[in-house]
Amino acid sequence: MVSVAIDGPAGAGKSTLARRLAAEMGYIYVDTGAMFRTIGLYALRKGVDPKDNAAVNTLLPEIGLRVDCIDGEQHIYLNGEDVSTAIRTEAAGMAASAVGANPAVRAFLLELQRSMAKKQDVLMDGRDIGTVVLPDATVKIFLTASPEARATRRWKEYQAKGIDTPYEEVLADVKQRDYQDTHRAAAPLKQAEDAVLLDTSELDFEQSLDAMKQIIAKKIG
């Protein structure tokens, strides 16, 4: 099986780029952030602080998580409910970042992530795919951009969806999430030694896509 691991901070464009690349390459796109978001969402719905590891751990046995690919789109189900849209809020993102620091949550999701890469060719994005989940991935890309460039992109996405969040708030969230994701003890966000670094601060979508294709082509032809 061929696997492409794409890691990087929030808002670097991983999911948009990975989704398009997967469609072009005929691979399955696996968005691991959605899995952490789903657990974060469940904690929020249950009134549990996502940072409270012990409390979140008691919820894990109640969580049935299923991932399906429908028309090339990943859908994620929480106890049978399609939460693919519900997890796309800033609050669910912050909750995901908090539960991502919980080793039991990471262990809970690891098998699901690995099993998906065993069955099919995948493009998997996240924070620790090249370092922990798929250390033998065929291609590893570390995708990054400046906090300002990432916040601007996020802010535009929110505007397009009609969500009115001040830019300063989005930037502060980006920085806080970077801090949480890089400073946690469990599988922190960091570039794998054998990953190719791609900084997209100055690149538009098509340029970023081309750069990724070149990196992939060098490894798998």
List of long-range contacts for 205-211, beta carbons under 8 Å, 24+ apart: 205/13, 205/16, 205/17, 208/13, 208/17, 208/143, 209/17, 209/20, 209/21
Q: Judged by CB under 6 A, which of 4, 5, 6, 10 binds ligand DC?
A: 10
**Does 178 participate in binding ligand DC (rule CB under 6 A)?**
no
What DSSP element (H or E) covers 73?
strand 73-78
Token pair 């708030």 is found at: 169
Q: 154 exposed, middle or buried (CB, 10 Å; 0-12, 13-18, 19+)?
A: buried
Applying CB under 6 A, does 130 fall inside the site for ligand DC?
A: no
Contact region with ligand DC (CB under 6 A), list: 71-79, 122-130, 162-170, 209-217: 122-130
Nearest approach in angstroms of CB 170 to ligand DC is: 13
Which range of residues in 56-64, 126-134, 153-161, 163-171 is near ligand DC by CB under 6 A?
A: 126-134
Q: Give the integer Cα–Cα distance in Å for 198 and 112.
A: 27
Q: Is the dihedral of CA 113, 117, 120, 122 positive or negative?
A: positive
Cβ 221 to ligand DC, closest distance in Å? Answer: 27
Query: How would you classify the pairing of strands 65-70 and 73-78?
Result: antiparallel
Window contacting ligand DC (CB under 6 A); options: 20-28, 54-62, 71-79, 95-103: 95-103
Among the candidate windows 18-26, 78-86, 124-132, 150-158, which touches ligand DC by CB under 6 A? 124-132
* Listed ranges 18-26, 91-99, 160-168, 209-217: which one lies at the site for ligand DC (CB under 6 A): 91-99
Residue 152 lies near ligand DC (rule: CB under 6 A): no
- Give the whole-angstrom CA distance, residue 142 versus residue 129: 10
Which of 102, 177, 195, 208 is close enough to bind ligand DC by CB under 6 A? Answer: 177
Q: Is 153 in the site for ligand DC (CB under 6 A)?
A: no
Sheet bearing 73-78, strands edge to edge: 65-70, 73-78, 81-82
181 is a contact residue toward ligand DC (CB under 6 A)? yes
Nearer to ligand DC, 194 or 217 (CB): 194
- 128 contacts ligand DC (rule: CB under 6 A): yes
Q: Is 54 helix (H, G, I), strand (E, B) or coil?
A: helix
* Distance (Å, whole) CA 129 – CA 114: 10
Residues in contact with ligand DC by CB under 6 A are: 10, 32-33, 36-37, 93, 96-97, 100, 126-128, 177, 181
